[in-house]
Structure 1
Amino acid sequence: MKHLRAIAIKFIASLAVLYIILGGMYDMSFTNVFLISLVLGIASYVIGDLFLLPKTNNTIATLADFGLAFMIIWIVGESLTYGESLLLPSLISAAGIAVFEYFFHKYVSSNVMEEGGEQYQKANYRYQTEASEELYPVKPDVRSDENTEK
């Protein structure tokens, strides 16, 4: 039930942001904005909120959502509309979505994620390399004087 509520919040907020930017500033129809919001909401919730956010931090998940939103808005918008390029509107819309996503990730991590999601955020990923003194092993039959024939 928590996931459905989070998806509904994400969909409604992204629909509002995209309709203000794409519909108000660039005259895109409500149906096209609705379809883009639907695809973006489901894809970014699965990829950004359920997969990336528990394993990384809020900043990295927000940057990934920015890139994902830009690509989805641009590709789906280009396939639904005709006329001028949607590169700049997609970039502006993705920035608006990223601002919303920053605050939405805080909501998801505190209200939706269970205890399993917090283990990645508190993990300390310090990796060490094991080293030894011997870089090349000494072979007794090759380097010792005892095994040489005279």
Structure 2
Amino acid sequence: MDWMNHVKPFLIKLLIITAINVTVLPIAVGATLVDIIIISLIVTPIAYFVGDLFIMPRVGNAIASILDFGLTFLMLWILGLIFFADRNSSILLATLFTTFFITLSEPLFHAYLKNKLFNEKEDKRSTIIPNYSTEFAEDDVIELDKHRSKKDERTK
């Protein structure tokens, strides 16, 4: 697989992680923009190459999203302890919120990867053009009057 195919998905993942970090971390722990960019540049390559390229193709979208939660939480928590240990803030709570919102975006990102990078497209032809079958058979015609008259004769 050509490495150029990974540039666009990697940048999308970097944008998602950075946007969520910019939203949560300044409020929760007082992070600066430089802190957020450094954290995003550390978390994104690990999450992309380990979570999205190694784990997701092997175990599927749902399990990969759960494993991505654990991996992202661990990375953000360790980096939070390194960057924000001197501040009086709840690093654990900030990490949980950030990881939660990143994990919400993972199934959409995995669907994008399956479609664009792994070329796993659904067969939409079956939903657009239904495959109807026609059955050709002859039906037996039962004459009820003859059947009833024979039944009546037996009962007499």
TM-score range, shorter chain: 0.7 to 0.9
- Using the TM superposition, give the Cα deviation of residue 29 of structure 1 relative to its aligned residue in structure 2, in angstroms: 0.8
Q: Which one of the candidate residues 8, 13, 23 is aligned to 1:10? A: 13
SS at match of 2:31: coil
Residue 107 of structure 1: aligned partner: 112
Q: What code does the residue aligned with 2:18 have?
A: L
- Using the TM superposition, give the Cα deviation of residue 77 of structure 1 relative to its aligned residue in structure 2, in angstroms: 1.5
Residue 57 of structure 1: aligned partner: 60
- TM-score when scaled to structure 1? 0.72
SS at match of 2:87: coil
After TM superposition, the structure 1 = structure 2 runs for residues 97-136 of structure 1, keeping only pairs within 5 Å, are 97-114=102-119
Q: What code does the residue aligned with 2:82 have?
A: S
Distance 1:113 1:24 in 2: 37
Distance 2:108 2:27 in 1: 24
After TM superposition, the structure 1 = structure 2 runs for residues 22-61 of structure 1, keeping only pairs within 5 Å, are 22-61=25-64
Q: What code does the residue aligned with 2:112 have?
A: Y
Distance 1:10 1:56 in 2: 20
Residue 150 of structure 2: aligned partner: none
Q: Retained in 1: the 8 A contact 2:29–2:91? A: no
RMSD, aligned α-carbons? 1.4
Residues 86-120 of structure 1 show CA distances to partners (whole Å, capped at 9, x for unaligned) of: 011001100011011121011011101257xxxxx
Distance 1:107 1:114 in 2: 10
Q: Which one of the candidate residues 20, 24, 31 is aligned to 2:23? A: 20
Paired residues, what number? 115
**Runs of 4+ that moved beyond 6 A:** none
Residue 79 of structure 1: aligned partner: 82
Q: What code does the residue aligned with 1:106 have?
A: A
Unaligned runs of 5+ in 1: 116-150
Q: Which one of the candidate residues 89, 93, 98 is aligned to 1:88? A: 93
- Give the % identical residues: 31
Unaligned runs of 5+ in 2: 121-156
Residues 21-69 of structure 1 show CA distances to partners (whole Å, capped at 9, x for unaligned) of: 1124432111111111111110010111110111011111111111111
